[in-house]
Structure 1
Amino acid sequence: MSPPEWLHLDALEEIDDTKGGERLMREHLAEHRWTLTPRMAELVRQIFAPLQLLPAMRDLYLESRAVELVAETMAAVLHASRRASGGMLLTRQDAVCLERAKDYIAVHWAAPLNVGMIARAAGVSASGLQRLFRVSENQSIFEYVRMLRLERAFAALSSGEVTVQEASAIAGYSSAANFSTAFRRQFGTTPRDIMATHRG
């Protein structure tokens, strides 16, 4: 556990969530649930299989990965906390519809999707479904689908079995350049870097 003095609560002001950050600091040894992101998994992999560097550089490399992992984890916990508090605004029926929508997207993520078809599968209106995603996920349906597709592309690249162009198609991008831009924004690294790392 990183001490509060090291984490600097001032830094949490930059993400406009000082209350959430302060709550995390107070809840010593409390259990928090969040979703492991591909970036977290990649950082852990880099820590356990670091690059071949000089000893002094290796320590700096590992420390930078550890700091980023703490930041990624805190962001995920705070996001999960916001979702949980937002979830109180959902009725039981809303939660059921939201789960149906996510299940439908998980199965049909590679197919052309639109709000209407997802809403019909979930048993809710299109506008109602948009509201559910805004309240629960803090993003639109299409942002949720795009993130899911990028995560599938990340996993495919990590396996070393696809090219950047093929991963771009998995993510639903016709342009490899646009895919690379979105990929870097999501994961903080490029598709080619992931491919090179896992093939090396």
Structure 2
Amino acid sequence: MMYRPEDHVFALSERYELNREGALRVNGHDCLKIQFRLEGHASFRFGSKHLLELAPYEAAIVLDGSDVEKDCLVQPGVTSTIMLGCDAEFLSRYFEGDCRDLPRQIRQFLADKSMNFYCGSLPMTPSMVAASRALLVSTHTGVIRRAYFQAKIVELLCDMFQSLGASETPDTLPSRVIAQLESVRERIHQQFAQPLTVTELAHAVGTNESKLSRLFRERYGVPVYEYLRNVRLNRARELLRSPNYTITDIALMVGYEHPANFATAFRKEFGISPRQGRIVSVQ
């Protein structure tokens, strides 16, 4: 759903499912665009030189003063995103005066809209995740909706600028720790159907449960188990499209030993039962 609280800014909230890879052209220049990705994988291609991969709970930021072609390749499965866009006039109004606290790239954009192309990605913080989810499920209407969306847009911009500014300094985590966290995340995506526990994941990379939980949330914005649950339930939604598996089969295939626990988690995440999810997926 597209929403424009005013001429110089927009928010696009989307949740959809693809049976095969899809390609979208990202139009516009002389503006800032940020995508907050809650579900699904995508890659961004900018002309022939730039390629950016985006996973769930990551955000991509694009500053572009040129007409270079921008394509978003979305992988099959469920996708949930919030896309924000605004121009220099909107940013100048909210961040007028001393801009030294803003990230270097934003300062350059405000000083010269025709700046060279920039793109990058960052893990979403817990506040980014919460604000993005709030926009996806918002039921506000009329002038209240306009005020609510504009407030959330500014909140997300502030969180992104804070994270982008922090990323300009050397990473506070040692490279060894970052490699451990990436290993845990990769294992979750590859072995989500197995009965993984946070303790087991921690021991596999040579640390303890408490330390892994703290560092994983710090880097990726969500707890380890919530990340694992998200991967499992999104895979379950994909499997529900197939008539070849019963709901009990699907529960076991995504790592739930008891179908009742799977049904409870599915309803909590998506607001409907797995049986209702199957009906929706085939319509």
TM bin (shorter chain): 0.5 to 0.7
Distance 1:126 1:174 in 2: 22
The residue that corresponds to 2:13 in the other structure is: none
The residue that corresponds to 1:165 in the other structure is: 248
The question of whether the paired residues in 2 share the 8 Å contact of 1:149 and 1:172 is answered with yes
Matches within 5 A, 1:38-77: 41=78, 71-72=135-136
The question of whether the paired residues in 1 share the 8 Å contact of 2:217 and 2:223 is answered with yes
Runs of 4+ with deviation above 4 angstroms: 80-89
Cα distance change of structure 1 residues 82 and 108 upon mapping to structure 2, 3 Å threshold: farther
Distance 2:231 2:162 in 1: 17
AA aligned opposite 1:32 = I
TM-fit CA distance, 1:104: 1.6
The residue that corresponds to 2:37 in the other structure is: 35
AA aligned opposite 2:250 = A
Give 2:204's match in structure 1, choosing from 115, 118, 121.
Answer: 121
AA aligned opposite 1:3 = R
AA aligned opposite 1:158 = R
Count of matched residue positions in the alignment of Structure 1 and Structure 2: 153
Structure-1-length-normalised TM-score: 0.57
More off after superposition, 149-158 vs 122-131: 122-131
AA aligned opposite 1:141 = V
Structure-2-length-normalised TM-score: 0.43
TM-fit CA distance, 1:100: 0.9
Cα distance change of structure 1 residues 2 and 155 upon mapping to structure 2, 3 Å threshold: same
The residue that corresponds to 1:140 in the other structure is: 223
- Report the secondary structure of 2:212's partner residue: helix
TM-fit CA distance, 1:83: 10
Where structure 2 has 5 or more consecutive residues not aligned to the other structure, the ranges are: 7-29, 41-76, 82-131, 138-148
Matches within 5 A, 1:86-105: 90-105=173-188
For the aligned residues, what is the CA RMSD? 4.0
1:188 lines up with 2:271 in the alignment: yes
Cα distance change of structure 1 residues 181 and 99 upon mapping to structure 2, 3 Å threshold: same
Structure having the larger proportion of residues in strand = 2
TM-fit CA distance, 1:150: 1.3
AA aligned opposite 1:104 = R
AA aligned opposite 1:2 = Y
Cα distance change of structure 1 residues 178 and 99 upon mapping to structure 2, 3 Å threshold: same
1:108 lines up with 2:185 in the alignment: no
Where structure 1 has 5 or more consecutive residues not aligned to the other structure, the ranges are: 6-27, 45-67
The question of whether the paired residues in 2 share the 8 Å contact of 1:160 and 1:198 is answered with no
Cα distance change of structure 1 residues 115 and 182 upon mapping to structure 2, 3 Å threshold: closer
- Report the secondary structure of 2:226's partner residue: helix
Q: Relative contact order: is structure 1 or structure 2 higher (C-alpha 8 Å, sep ≥ 6)?
A: 2
The residue that corresponds to 1:4 in the other structure is: 5
